[in-house]
Amino acid sequence: MNFDLTEEQAAMERMAKNFAEKEIVPNLKKEEFNRELVRQMGELGLFGSAFPEGMGGSASGFLAHSVVCETISTYDSGLRALFNLQAMTVPYAMMEWGNDSVRKKYVKALVSAQKLGCTCFSEPNAGSDIAAIETKVVDKGDHFLINGSKTWISNGTVADYAVVYCTHDRSLKHNGLCAIVVETKQRGWQPHEIPKLGDKASPIAEIGLEDVVAPKGNLLGEWGGGFKVAMTALDRGRISVGSGAVGICQACLNASVKYANERVQFGRPIRDYQMVKHLIADMVTYTETARLMVRRGAWLNDQGRPFTREIAVAKYFAGEAAVRAAGWAMEIHGGMGYSLELPVEKYYRDSKLYQVGEGTANIMRLLIADDALGLKKANRPRLKVPVDFRDLS
């Protein structure tokens, strides 16, 4: 078992770090969506690690994706969502479940960030319970017609393409779900931005869909097979979410070490006090544990092995670690942590999302516990593996 990054992965980590220091750090205080910055990230290949070269990627793998995502999130966790929307839950789902036409038209444009994507799961009455989705799709013969509403949709106000999860028959529950690629530049797509606590570099929206049209060829997977598409997309999305949480942990640790070395109280740097050392030790331990767990899940995916359980454990722990690390950083910084002068308050605001997005902490607990108790096995045989897409062009 080798825990060292390969030369390629280490080079990608350095590239992401250099980009962040040059392009992200100078604009951090703005906390707003920056379309030009996203374009630069796509042009640099930050979203393409898991994609074959024919789809605009570098074929570096999911572990490389995790490393790059973590690095960017260490500088601004608000950009973490892009690693789902321009990689995992949107274009990868299209590549995995779409036909050649869908792949050719949408995937490379999203991976390169020439176009922006979003994925539409949540609704006012359907969050963790995806079988409760009410958005309705009707087969009109030569096209699909979609009506309903979505909420908490990252990139919802700026996306060009969306993967919309909808139902053709609610009585069938999971078996009635469909996943359909929708182009948002049409009258029936009606987004409204939702103000939120953190993660402000990624706009989030509620969306009304009124007679939204999609070509028949834009169905992902089978008619009524959208649940499989959703579950595989969420598994891969949790690699990004877990990696982003590790980035927050590392940012909190970096800031706390710096402050503890510089801040003097009672004639001594606060690093000399046992309670501060205690918090630093916990932050190091939680950060490194979360990192190893997330990277194990990503590595398993690269090997084509089942990883649903492992990435659920990793995502759950990393989310808890992020919230704890942000709280500990606030304690170490005292009043300065609460001020707007230092970035710790931003880490605190951004961290909470990691307990909610891409499967809440409680849903992860249920998945993990059901597997351990023998009630429901989390890992099942893989339907498709990364090597299946290696030769796509």
φ and ψ at residue 307, rounded to 5 degrees: -150, 10
CA distance 117 to 90: 6
Burial class (CB in 10 A: 0-12, 13-18, 19+), 197: exposed
CA distance 371 to 311: 13
Could you tell me if 115 and 74 are in contact, meaning their C-beta atoms sit under 8 angstroms apart? no
332-369 burial, b at 16+ Cβ within 10 Å, e below that, comes to bbeeebeeeebbbbbbbbbbbbbbbbbbebebbebbbe
- List Cβ neighbours of 167 (8 Å cut-off, separation of 6 or more): 133, 134, 135, 136, 137, 176, 177, 178
**Catalytic site includes residue 358:** yes
Amino acid of residue 300: L
> Which stretches does DSSP call E strand in the chain?
117-120, 136-139, 143-154, 161-167, 177-183, 189-193, 204-215, 219-220, 264-265, 268-269
**Structure-block tokens of residue 22:** 């040059």
Query: Looking at 123, 183, 320, 358, which residue is catalytic?
Result: 358
Could you tell me if 323 and 354 are in contact, meaning their C-beta atoms sit under 8 angstroms apart? yes
Q: Which of 73, 83, 82 is nearest to 343 (CA)?
A: 73
Could you tell me if 61 and 302 are in contact, meaning their C-beta atoms sit under 8 angstroms apart? yes
User: Could you give the residue numbers annotated as active site?
Assistant: 358
